[in-house]
Amino acid sequence: MSNGRVILTTERFALTIDRLCHQLIENHDNFQNTCLIGIQQGGVPLVRRIHQRLLEITGVTLIEHGKLDITFYRDDFRRRDKPIRASVTQMDFLVEGKNVVLMDDVLYTGRSVQAAMSALGDFGRPQKVELLALIDRRFNRDLPIKADYVGLRVDSLDEAYVRVEWKEVEGEDQVLLFPHKEE
Amino acid sequence: MQAQLSTKHLLGIKYLTEDDIQIIFETADEFKEVINRPIKKVPSLRDITVANMFFENSTRTRISFELAEKRLSADTVNFSASASSVSKGETLLDTVNNVLSMKVDMIVMRHPAPGAPQFLARNIKANIINAGDGTHEHPTQALLDAFSIREQLGDLAGKKIAIFGDITHSRVALSNIFCLQKLGAEVKVCGPPTLIPKHLPQLGVGVEHDVRKTLEWCDVANVLRIQLERQDIKYFPSLREYSQYFGINKELLDSLDKKIIIMHPGPINRGVEITSDVADSEHSIILQQVENGVAVRMAVLYLLAARG
């Protein structure tokens, strides 16, 4: 993985997260009827970070947040060579009547988001569902899905690969673009 | 990130690797969360048709498989030998091939003949899941037993598990022995000498005939039913005598200086191998086993379907 190009540096990364937080605050005020849900696996560190920043910025003490596994809802089951290992779903609150903000690190074909929306439907009927993507690969969509909040738009070829790295996981906050996905 | 079984059929625990078992458990953990949701259903197998072919009676296993299939959104067809052309003399292969011509992707089969699922796997294309073949194996029962122990005690490595009762006629016993040993547990069996196969020590299993001694040794007691329907001769003088010498009762458990976990694959013969107060006590995880059965079977169906 030596040929990756940094498209979001550590400093810009922090600014982007802060901007997304402020956009969320604009629409959700004190987050009383809002919950943040990260799509496994990329959306989970994103939710953790945004949740933490939102608490710091707003001074609100409680914002409901959780993680949603979409493995069993994927439409490429039995169509890919190797099945994906399931991850944890953890939502200790009801989504019924809530404003849900789904979050994922990279919005690419839109299929994960579609799966997440059907998964979410099994937990209840939210008032409203919004989508936040740290990276939006806007020219690679297979489905008519668009994010409400976008960190950075990336124009890339289908075979390119975007990787989001986190301080608490990889040691540094940054986003890299690779010309090809490596095994 | 990726999870794939090493096999496309579940014929027996013997043919699984330890990794396979761990993948099944990890997947079952997630399905257990799913079946405790308000909407207990996921769409994974919506393009799959499963035939449940039961050539032998079953309540628990059959309902459990059927629920597992429905909760994965699979289409299901049920077949029982008594109400079918088997009674008109059709062979197993013909029956199954006829069912397969109707575009069935997976077959869950219980059959009185040991090896029947192996025979099918050699001859047809669908994924086969063995739901019990004679006195040979009952892999999903062993998986759910081990999954239930793991839930109570964590990692099975080094844990001491004792299997009580009719080992000779039990497919649950053999599958359990394979499964527990693959996960690194120590296994002993305990029962009257007539109901313990003489070659069992070759599998690395301890053999004991004293219930108290075995209970003092083990962390978990898996108590099996006396399979009177498979016993063509008398293996012990009377049920009363069996329950006196080999039955597990409350006084026996209370006299131990530790708390052990009591399991039973069902159906229970209350008052024979286990008394009612033990079966319904806080030691018993019999009903958790049943709940876990659905999650484990969902995991097996899901992972085998993924193999195609």
Give DSSP secondary structure letters for B13-27: GGG--HHHHHHHHHH
> pLDDT-based confidence at A183, cuts 50/70/90?
low
pLDDT at A1 over 80: no
Q: Is B30 on the interface with A (CB under 8 A)?
A: yes
CA angle B76, B27, B130 (to 5 degrees): 45
Chain B contacts of A77, Cβ < 8 Å?
44, 305-306
| Contact assignment for A77 to B30 by CB distance below 8 Å | no
Contact partners, residue B102, CB within 8 Å, separation at least 6: B77
CA angle B117, B118, B122 (to 5 degrees): 115
Structure tokens at A77: 């089951």
Structure tokens at B101: 């011509």
Q: Which pLDDT value is given to residue B54?
A: 93
The one-letter code for the residue type at B210 is D
Task: Spell out, as residue ranges, where chain B has pLDDT lower than 50.
Answer: 1
Q: Is B43 on the interface with A (CB under 8 A)?
A: yes
| Contact assignment for B2 to A83 by CB distance below 8 Å | yes
Contact partners, residue A59, CB within 8 Å, separation at least 6: none
B48: nearest CA partner in chain A: A78
Chain A contacts of B31, Cβ < 8 Å?
72
| Contact assignment for A72 to B47 by CB distance below 8 Å | no
Q: Which pLDDT value is given to residue B57?
A: 86
Task: For B230-262, give the DSSP string.
Answer: G-SS-SSS-HHHHHHHH-B-HHHHHTSSS--EE
pLDDT at A65 over 70: yes
Percent over 90 (pLDDT), chain A: 75
| Contact assignment for A123 to B37 by CB distance below 8 Å | yes
How far apart are the C-alpha atoms of B47 and A41, rounded to whole Å?
26
Q: Which pLDDT value is given to residue B83?
A: 67
CA angle B141, B242, B145 (to 5 degrees): 15
> pLDDT-based confidence at A86, cuts 50/70/90?
confident
**CB-count burial class (<10 Å; 0-12, 13-18, 19+) for A18:** middle
Note if the bond before B43 is cis, omega within 30 degrees.
no
**Residue in B30, B37, B72 nearest the CB of A86:** B30
Q: What are phi and psi of B21, to 5 degrees?
A: -65, -40
Structure tokens at B283: 């030691």
Q: What is the pTM of this model?
A: 0.89
| Contact assignment for A83 to B1 by CB distance below 8 Å | no
How far apart are the C-alpha atoms of B238 and B232, rounded to whole Å?
14
